């Protein structure tokens, strides 16, 4: 159980943070400040990864943890694909 959570915290947290950064970069990028949007999204991604890592070990149910990371990640991936075309 601990190993499963640790794997999810590292790899699931990384993917969750990465897709969050990608989605924020797309949502807030305008032509003059595109670099600033990407920079801000990257800084937010570090906080998101830390938050996911801590949250994975706080929740009592392993199933809730897996669903709590996988489902939002899939939703954000679909939104990203839809916005990028």
Residue 21 vs residues 48, 50, 57, 59, 67: alpha-carbon distances, Å: 9, 14, 23, 24, 20
Matching residue, tokens 């590292």: 10
Q: Identify the residue with better confidence: 64 or 36.
A: 64
Whole-structure pTM value = 0.90
Segments making up each domain of the chain, as ranges? 1-84
Q: What is the reported pLDDT for 12?
A: 96
Q: What is the reported pLDDT for 85?
A: 63
Q: Give per-residue pLDDT as tens, 16-43.
A: 999 999 999 998 887 787 888 889 999 9
Mean residue pLDDT of the chain comes to 93
Q: Which tokens in the block code for residue 1? A: 């159980």
Checking if the pLDDT of 11 tops 80, the result is yes
């Amino acid at each position: 159980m601990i190993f499963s959570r640790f794997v999810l915290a590292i790899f699931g947290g990384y993917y969750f943070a990465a897709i969050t950064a990608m989605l924020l970069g797309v949502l807030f990028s305008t032509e003059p400040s595109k670099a600033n949007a990407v920079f801000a999204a990257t800084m937010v991604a570090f906080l998101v990864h830390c938050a996911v890592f801590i949250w994975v070990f706080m929740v009592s149910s392993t199933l809730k943890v897996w669903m709590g990371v996988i489902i939002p990640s899939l939703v954000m991936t679909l939104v990203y694909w839809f916005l990028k075309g």
